[in-house]
Structure 1
Amino acid sequence: MGLSKYTSEIKLIDHKDEIVFNYLSNFEHLSEYINDGLLQKVTQQVPQIKITNFESDQDSCRFSIGGMGQSEIRIVNREPFKTIKLASSGSLPVEITFWIQLLPVSENQTKMKLTLHAEMGMMIKMMAGNKLEEGVNQLADMLTRLPYPKE
């Protein structure tokens, strides 16, 4: 198993850092966007992975991956308005640690960068490495477009 690092481009979100942090540090907001249609798109992109039974609470989300069982991603650290750190557990074939880093630019703009550390075997890296790089940037783009609440 080897550690690989994937980093998104720096993105700009047109909201205050506190609002962005509070929204992203609560997994319950994810359940509004993770639906059967989105899960089918993931399966189309990577046919070896079929995700079902998605559920979330404030600190974690759980889901099943076909043939592998139940997995979980949990928020393990929150540094208010700066960093949200997540880690995986369960039956994923990859161990991940993921950071969302926020930096205020102005009163109503925040820079965001995503960093993913993935501990995986060589075969998985060969199959999924490029998809992970692409996926981190797609996730960053998606997070910039979320309907963050008004103050």
Structure 2
Amino acid sequence: MTVFESKVRINRPVSAVYQFLSDFNNHKQLMPDSITNWTSDRDSANFTVQGMANLALKISNRIENSSIIIVPAADVPFNVDMRWVVVDLHDGTTEAVITLSAELNMMMKMMASGPLQKLVNQQTATLARVV
């Protein structure tokens, strides 16, 4: 598995950050401009990665004020999952960590590593601004 991770400290309580992340409707705000045709509900999202493919994701597990696990809702070319972990820092702030794990062959790893790391970095940076 190849792992991409990014974390950020947010000046909001853990409950506010968790509530935002636990609703897939909010995740559109975290996505780059290359994501189009976004449709979502609380538990799932469908979208197109410009020039690549259509993807369907779903939230498979929620642990209140702790973590959210996101997995593919349909067949994908490689195994992948995303985990958001939120940690109460006990001073009114929260640490949010996104970990994207993907089973990539060597060729896919060479092509996708940069964009996937950029994606998780963008998601944490944007999360800190919008929550």
TM-score with structure 1 length normalisation? 0.75
Q: Distance in 2 between matches of 1:133 and 1:66?
A: 17
Q: Distance in 2 between matches of 1:89 and 1:101?
A: 21
- In structure 1, runs of 5+ residues without a counterpart are 43-50
Measured after TM superposition, the shift of residue 71 of structure 1 is 2.1
1:70–1:136: structure 2 CA closer, same or farther, 3 Å change rule?
Answer: closer
- In structure 2, runs of 5+ residues without a counterpart are none
Q: Distance in 2 between matches of 1:105 and 1:25?
A: 19
Q: Distance in 1 between matches of 2:114 and 2:94?
A: 27
**1:1-151 counterparts in 2 under 5 A?**
3-8=1-6, 10-31=7-28, 33=29, 38-39=32-33, 42=34, 51-65=35-49, 70-146=54-130, 148=131
TM-score with structure 2 length normalisation? 0.85
Q: May I ask how many residue pairs the two structures share in their alignment?
A: 131
Write the letter of the residue equivalent to 2:125: D
Counterpart secondary structure, 1:5: strand
Q: Distance in 2 between matches of 1:131 and 1:66?
A: 12
**Percent of paired sites with the same residue:** 29
Q: Give deviations 1:28-65, integer Å, cap 9, x for gaps.
A: 2234x379xx53xx2xxxxxxxx532100000100235
How large is the Cα RMSD of the aligned pairs?
A: 2.3
